[in-house]
Amino acid sequence: MRSPLVPYVTAWSSERAARPHVITRGAGIGYADESPFDRDSDGVLWAREGVSPGRGKPEFGRVHLLRQRRAMRRLLCQICARAADRNADGVLWLIGEDDAEDMTTTHPPVCVPCAAQAVRACPYLRGGHVLVRARTCVPLGVHGVVYEPGFPFPRVHRDGGVTYDDPRIRWTRAAQLIVQLEGCTTVNRNASAPEPDQAP
Ligand SMILES: [Zn+2]
């Protein structure tokens, strides 16, 4: 029996999350030992996680934050890390039904051969999903841990999504990028695989 393919964005057991000391810095949070690599180009603070894919065991259901962000920014397939599929209607995305309500997602795009694999590999998508083409995707915000002011240190308030235009973004330690899909065309709904005529 073939061993199951491990999606590119899946975190491995050797890739442990670091627990840097979170402090108040200006009107928000920072790390006590912060470096420029801890923030993205929008100034958002990101969680720290080891990078050693292939070592240990894959932890299906846990997404590696750097690979998730890279796949989103470069429009790479979340499973094989090759370019996601694109045609005249746009890039191919496989999103959960609740994401389809507002067309925002933390799940990077897919290529056609991997779309069916993504449904099998992702418990969230097995619960119902929509295959769409999107002409553009715009970074909307991040999903992560939101802090609130506290003394002597900021306190964890909740886990959740925060948009870039929300002042709480300065109080958020990001773990996943959220994108807004625009100019969407539904390919199919609750499909186990793309239609054959969608093949490249
Ligand atoms: Zn792929």
pLDDT tens digits for range 74-101: 999 999 999 999 999 999 999 988 888 8
- Tokens 């094989």: give the residue: 80
Distance 194 CA to ligand 1 centre (A): 13
181 contacts 105 by C-beta, under 8 angstroms = yes
Distance 115 CA to ligand 1 centre (A): 7
Task: Please determine, for residue 122, whether its predicted confidence score (pLDDT) is greater than 80.
Answer: no
Distance 153 CA to ligand 1 centre (A): 43
As a whole number of angstroms, the distance between CA 94 and CA 98 comes to: 12
82 contacts 109 by C-beta, under 8 angstroms = no
What residues does each domain of the chain span? Answer: 10-194
By the 10 Å C-beta count (0-12 exposed, 13-18 middle, 19+ buried), 25 is classed as: middle
Distance 78 CA to ligand 1 centre (A): 7
Distance 85 CA to ligand 1 centre (A): 8
What pTM does this model have?
Answer: 0.88
Distance 83 CA to ligand 1 centre (A): 7
Task: Please determine, for residue 191, whether its predicted confidence score (pLDDT) is greater than 70.
Answer: no
Please give the mean pLDDT across all residues of the chain: 90
